[in-house]
Structure formats: structure tokens, C-alpha cells
Amino acid sequence: MSLTLVIDDRAATEIAEAYDWYLRKSDQAAVNFKNEVTEAFDLLEQDIIVHVETFRKLRRCPLKISPYYIYQRKENEKIIQVVAFLHNKRANDFIE
């Protein structure tokens, strides 16, 4: 079953900022980052991995290489909402 991924504006901004950071390092680093995020989103849409619930009914999906977490929740049987995209050293207490 494939789910629909809905990415909040704040999470989209955080992803774009991280991409820009990698792009300043190198084109290849940016491509690798984009591929890693895309792969994680594909897995979330397939709903084949259950991630650990952290707080506020959010689940945290770690990227394999980049030091980021995708915070998401399953809204219903058809929608996964991405509410934040944070570096793993960043506090998550502001997530709504």
C-alpha cells in the first residue's frame, strides 16, 4: 500500500536549507543528500518500516548517512505528515 506524503512548509524549508549547505560543500554532496532524502521518503510512502515513536505521536526516521531525522506521523491510513527535518544534534522541543 502506498501512502501520500505531506510535507509541512517548515520541514520543506529545513530540507532546502540542508541541501543548500551540502551544495556549498560540493555538487556531489548535494546530489548524495537529495538521493538519501528521496530514498527515505520513498520508504515512508511504502509504509514498510515502523519507526520508534518519540513524543507527541511523532516517529523519527533517521537518514542512513546524513545526520538528520525526519519527524513524521501517520495522519490516517492514507497520509503521512512530515512535520520536521532536523539535524540529530538539534533540540526537537519546538516541534508542534
Kindly state whether residue 93 falls inside one of the protein's structural domains: no
5-28 per-position pLDDT tens digit: 999 999 999 999 999 999 999 999
Residue 92 located in a structural domain: no
Coil, helix or strand at residue 21 = helix
Please state, in angstroms and rounded to a whole number, the distance separating the CA atoms of residues 15 and 84: 9
d(Cα 77, Cα 65) in Å, to the nearest integer? 29
> What residue spans of the chain are helical by DSSP H?
9-25, 27-46
Regarding pTM above 0.75, the answer is yes
Q: Closest by alpha carbon to 67, among 38, 37, 46?
A: 37
Would 80 be classed as within a structural domain? yes
Cα distance between residue 3 and residue 48, in whole Å: 10
CATH number of the structural domain spanning residue 42: 3.30.2310.20
Residue 63 domain-assigned (yes or no): yes
pLDDT digits (tens, 9 = 90+) for 31-58: 999 999 999 999 888 876 667 677 778 8
Domain that holds residue 79: 4-87
Question: Has residue 72 got a pLDDT over 70?
Answer: yes
- Residue 2 pLDDT > 80: yes
